[in-house]
Amino acid sequence: MRFHIKAVRKPAGIVEAVLDAPSQADAMRIARAQGMHVLSIAAQQNWLPARHRREPAFPLLLFTQELATLLRAGLSLIDTLESLADKEQQPQHKRVLDDIKRALHEGRSFSQALGQAPSAFPNLYVALVRSSERTGELAETLSRFIAYQVQIDQVKKSIASASIYPALLLTVGTAVMLFLLGYVVPKFSVVYEGIERPLPWLSQMLMLWGRFLAAHQAALAIGACGAIALCWFALRQPGLREQLGRTLARLPGIRERIFLYQLARFYRSLGMTLQGGIPIIAALDMVQGLLKGAMRERLRQVSVHVSEGHSLSHALEESNLTTPIALKLLRAGERSGNLGQMLERAADFYDEEMARWVDWFVKLFEPILMTVIGVLIGIIVVLMYLPIFELAGSIQ
């Protein structure tokens, strides 16, 4: 939600700002963190309920790439943001950039300006920028985030692209079977009505299903569309998505892959934050949101162990958040002082292993799926022609 705030802040006096926050309490907290004494706060009204309104996501990666490029070209931060705002076509995105410029003109730091739009800039991003403000290496930090985000997006795209062909195959196979059952089978049932000889039991059941589909096509189509819409709506609910994720995580074979996938994201994010100059305790707190369920609880134990003086490799080993190969890399990084690089190298290893597993699974699943669809279609065709075969045999 967006909140319009009127507040007092030294030395600017009375200022107005628009903040993105999940609730009014969060907006108040963000305002106080930016040194504002809030006089009034009001939620900006929208005609549609928030859960039915889907605004386009802020293009964080593209924004960061363009920002880093213009900063390297020698433009100041204000000029860079003005250039990006001038070219922006989406009103929501342009408003975010205008709010950042306004905050900078009011004397706030870049990280504080980004922090007023948490829906566009995650805490991890804001923390990296805040760290770069101390070192003066904003462009290098942005480049590090770009490499991090590109790698994560690449893993997601590889998984999505691997699922396209099986999904297409399943859709086409289902459509062919529905066509046979709903159109071809009823035509055959009309032909068999004049035959005095009783049909085989399986063929009778097939004809019954075919006539039922043909007689209730509209109702079944509406029901199928309703079921698809219900599933789509259910999957948009965070609670149901988490429950589905926990169910998948219990499946043998899938559980290990989900663990490695989350571990790779965790290692890569932690490595990037450490290389950005963020202290390890703060970095561990920032990346907790990347892990789910029991793994998040284990990460809290890691933070406790590290705060007590243990090394990161020891804490991860005690909490079962590492593998033998990653453990050796982390220990080598701790000895050489390159822990951030070793974390990213371990994440690369996990990503490569995940890519190999996805490739193996797709190569195994595709022929199995084709075989199952072919067998089902073959059974339908055989049951359609089975009475003809029996009739021909009886005539002979």
Q: pLDDT value at position 47?
A: 42
Over residues 36-48, mean pLDDT:
67
Per cent of the chain over pLDDT 90 is 17
Q: pLDDT value at position 372?
A: 94
Residue 39 φ/ψ, nearest 5 degrees: -95, -40
Q: pLDDT value at position 342?
A: 93
Is the pLDDT reported for residue 3 higher than 90?
no
Band (pLDDT 50/70/90 cuts) for residue 395 is low
Per cent of the chain over pLDDT 70 is 93
User: Which of the pair, 198 or 376, is modelled with greater confidence?
Assistant: 376
Band (pLDDT 50/70/90 cuts) for residue 13 is low
Give CA–CA dist 46/218, Å, rounded: 37
Residue-wise pLDDT for 52-103, tens only, equals 445 678 889 999 999 999 998 888 899 999 988 888 888 888 888 998 998 8
Minimum mean pLDDT among 23-37, 95-109, 118-132, 273-287: which range?
23-37
Q: pLDDT value at position 11?
A: 63
Own/partner contacts of 126-134, CB < 8 Å, gap of 24 or more, are 127/273, 127/276, 127/278, 127/282, 127/286, 128/272, 128/273, 128/276, 128/278, 131/276, 131/277, 131/278, 132/276, 132/277, 133/109, 134/277
Q: pLDDT value at position 132?
A: 86
Q: Whose structure tokens read 């593209």?
A: 62
Q: pLDDT value at position 392?
A: 66
Residue 40 φ/ψ, nearest 5 degrees: -150, 150
Structural contact between residues 4 and 28, judged by C-beta atoms closer than 8 angstroms: no
Is the pLDDT reported for residue 333 higher than 70?
yes
Residue-wise pLDDT for 287-297, tens only, equals 887 787 778 88
Per-domain boundaries in the chain:
2-43, 60-149, 161-395
Cis peptide, bond prior to residue 49, ω within 30 of zero: no
Q: pLDDT value at position 394?
A: 61
Q: What is the mean pLDDT of the chain?
A: 84
Q: pLDDT value at position 50?
A: 45
Is the pLDDT reported for residue 124 higher than 70?
yes
Q: pLDDT value at position 313?
A: 92
Structural contact between residues 371 and 184, judged by C-beta atoms closer than 8 angstroms: no
Is the pLDDT reported for residue 2 higher than 80?
no
Structural contact between residues 377 and 173, judged by C-beta atoms closer than 8 angstroms: yes
Structural contact between residues 343 and 267, judged by C-beta atoms closer than 8 angstroms: yes
CATH 3.40.50.720 for domain 161-395, yes or no, is no
Q: DSSP 3-state assignment of 4? A: strand
Q: pLDDT value at position 314?
A: 92
Over residues 240-246, mean pLDDT:
75
Q: Is the Cα torsion angle 273, 88, 22, 24 positive or negative in sign?
A: positive
Over residues 371-387, mean pLDDT:
90
Quickly count: other Cβ atoms within 10 Å of residue 124's Cβ.
20
Do domains 60-149 and 161-395 share one topology? The answer is: yes
**What CATH number does the domain located at 60-149 have?**
1.20.81.30
Sheet holding 37-43, edge to edge: 13-20, 2-9, 37-43
Is the pLDDT reported for residue 128 higher than 90?
no
Over residues 244-265, mean pLDDT:
81
Minimum mean pLDDT among 92-106, 187-201, 312-326, 339-353: which range?
187-201
Band (pLDDT 50/70/90 cuts) for residue 247 is confident
Which run of H or E residues covers position 13? strand 13-20
The most confident of the ranges 122-136, 152-166, 341-355, 377-391 is 341-355
User: Which of the pair, 2 or 268, is modelled with greater confidence?
Assistant: 268
Own/partner contacts of 35-39, CB < 8 Å, gap of 24 or more, are 35/9, 35/10, 36/5, 36/7, 36/8, 36/9, 37/7, 37/8, 37/9, 38/5, 38/6, 38/7, 39/6, 39/7, 39/8, 39/14
